[in-house]
Structure 1
Amino acid sequence: MAVIVDLVRKNPHWGISIASRDKKTPAASVYGAVWFTVDSPHMPVWCRVKRAVMQVFYQLLFVAAGLLVCGVVVLVLRYRRRHQDEETKEVYHLVERIIDIMKRHNDECQVNKSLEPYLAIPHVRDMLIPLQLRRKKQGVWDKSVKFLAANESRIREETQHVKGEEFAVWRWIGGFPSNGKNKVWQGQAFGENCDVGYNLLPYSPTNCLKIRNMFDADVECGQDWHIYVQDAILEKCKENKGILHLAVDKTSKEGCVYMKCMTPDAAGEAYRALHGWWFDGNLVTVKYLRLERYHERFPDAANSTVPLVPSNNKMRSLSQPYHRSPLERS
């Protein structure tokens, strides 16, 4: 070993250096020599190509690993967002069905006086959610109950004894007499920027709409309350210049208003402006109707060609700040 070190030192033109254990510090003596390094190694072309290919391969592998991690993160975030959107739709739909059940039960109580004017909350849940799905849907149900307690004034929660056992129950108390003048839009059920309303279609299949829960026929009074309902819709859709016909079904138990627009796009704009909003304490829902069916019900609508505008410019229905629901704040 000493002879080799001595030869290397005497022939610096060989381009060989002697290093200590850390491979960087030159060896101070023969006994400290551990590594020999070639300053300018001569490598065959194949070795150079192989070395370059491996360097590129490792760099690409590092980049691919980074892209893979980013892709997984994006997929997880999309899954969480889709899951939240689907859950919100379920809550929305469940709230609608609960309100319908309570309305129907109240109507039945008016006919059959032997019925109790309330329903146990667990009983309503059992009516809506199959047994095999109750544990899975418990979170959706809890959010629906919370949402109704915070936003639906027509349903009151109380405690009653049902067949000897104490239950939390819902009682339909309806609304108070109204002449329509104080009806206002109160905000969107799941946030003003939410686009996940139940049954929200990516396109507009027709230019006619059926709008539910705009009023409660049992409590409306006065001769022109329906005018205020029409004005509220036109004020909410004030940017929409394609509404040609509106009809308020004054006897509807569902508070229905029918709308015909100039084009399917105009109907889609009205749909997005109204569906899933609170109006006068009611959760408004909208669905599309076929043009032929609309004209069968309202023949005069076939001749409507002039866009409608509110009966005045006071914008009463937009006079209060929008309410933010607990689900939007959570």
Structure 2
Amino acid sequence: MKQKESLQLTEQFKKDIINELMYQSTHSENSEIVINQLQDKLLPPHNRSKLMSAWNKALQQLEANDTRVLFGMIVRNGEQLRTITLNKNIGNKDFSTSKKWQSSAFDNSNKIVNPPTSCLKIRHMFDASEIKEPNLKQLIVESIFEKVGPNCNICDIQLDTQSCCVYIRCASEADAGIVHNEINGWWFDKRLISIKFLRLERYLSRFPKSLTLLIFSTANYS
């Protein structure tokens, strides 16, 4: 395995482990997991021998450098088993993934003058490895508000974890145009954002409760 690929796998395993612990903590009072069981879940059996080096490095780096997790030992049926759990002395905010806008990939020619609808579908603001993060929607919403500024009225923001897309319904076509022009073609969290407009009927068929939501202004988040 090449060094670059090994480093990428190690980083991905670290992220997967944290996500699994966070998921466990939201579904159980005890987030402690036996490492061997976690290994069985995250490493496919047919490829395990190839991945073990990166897996072990991920565990070593977490134990040495990451205060979000604690390692321990339990005895089960006379056998000592290593465990890993979340550090409950650290607040939830320390588990948040920092999401940042980087720069635009295009010039002003990418902007739209006459937006056709008030609804949008945004790709690449998150990926499948992040869907278990309990505060993912909050991070996405705050990032959108940060970018579009105080003069935009948004009625609804929804995350589709199957397609990893963000759906937005704005108060008007003009507001949707602001979102499009401020976000489309920007690098966000090392991903290039792409947006397409969506008919209101299609948006409401996917999110029928959206009409009951009140309009809120991004000024509240500026």
Q: TM-score, normalised by structure 1?
A: 0.37
Q: In structure 1, what is the Cα distance between the partners aligned to 2:206 and 2:119?
A: 12
Unpaired stretches in structure 1, ≥5 consecutive residues: 1-112, 114-177, 314-330
CA shift for structure 1 position 218: 2.1
Where do 1:1-330 residues align within 5 Å?
180-190=96-106, 194-197=107-110, 200-252=111-163, 255-309=164-218
What amino acid sits opposite 1:283 in the alignment? Answer: L
Tell me which amino acid in the other structure corresponds to 2:182: A
Change (3 A) 1:272 1:220: same
Q: Which has the larger radius of gyration?
A: 1
User: SS of the residue aligned with 1:257?
Assistant: strand
Provide the aligned length of Structure 1 versus Structure 2: 133
Report if the CA contact (8 A) 2:131-2:161 is conserved.
no
Q: Secondary structure at the match of 1:196?
A: helix
| 1:123 aligned residue | none
AA aligned opposite 2:117: T
Counterpart in the other structure of 1:31: none
CA distance in 2: counterparts of 1:220 and 1:304, whole angstroms: 23
In structure 2, relative to structure 1, the CA distance for the partners of 1:202 and 1:302 (3 Å cut) is: same
Q: Residue 247 of structure 1 aligns to which amino acid in structure 2?
A: Q
C-alpha spacing 1:262/1:284, structure 2 compared with 1 (3 Å): same
Match of 2:64 in 1: none
What is the percentage of aligned positions where both structures have the same residue?
35
Q: CA deviation at 1:268?
A: 0.6
Counterparts in 2 of 1:240 and 1:184: CA distance versus 1, 3 Å? same
The CA distance in 2 between the partners of 1:218 and 1:310, in whole Å, is 31
Q: Which residue of 2 aligns with 1:143?
A: none
For residues 182 and 286 of structure 1, the distance between their equivalents in structure 2, rounded to whole angstroms, comes to 22
Task: Give the number of the structure with larger relative contact order, counting CA–CA contacts within 8 Å between residues 6 or more apart.
Answer: 2
Q: Report the CA distance shift for 1:266/1:312 in structure 2 as closer, same or farther (over 3 A).
A: closer
Structure 2 stretches lacking a partner, 5+ long: 1-45, 47-93
For residues 183-220 of structure 1, give each alpha carbon's deviation from its aligned partner in whole angstroms, at most 9, with x where no partner exists.
00001013xxx1222xx543111100001100112245
- Give the letter aligned to residue 301 of structure 1: S
In the aligned structure 2, how far is the partner of 1:231 from the partner of 1:241?
A: 13
- 3-state SS of 1:218 partner: helix
Would you say the 8 A contact 1:180–1:226 is kept in 2?
no
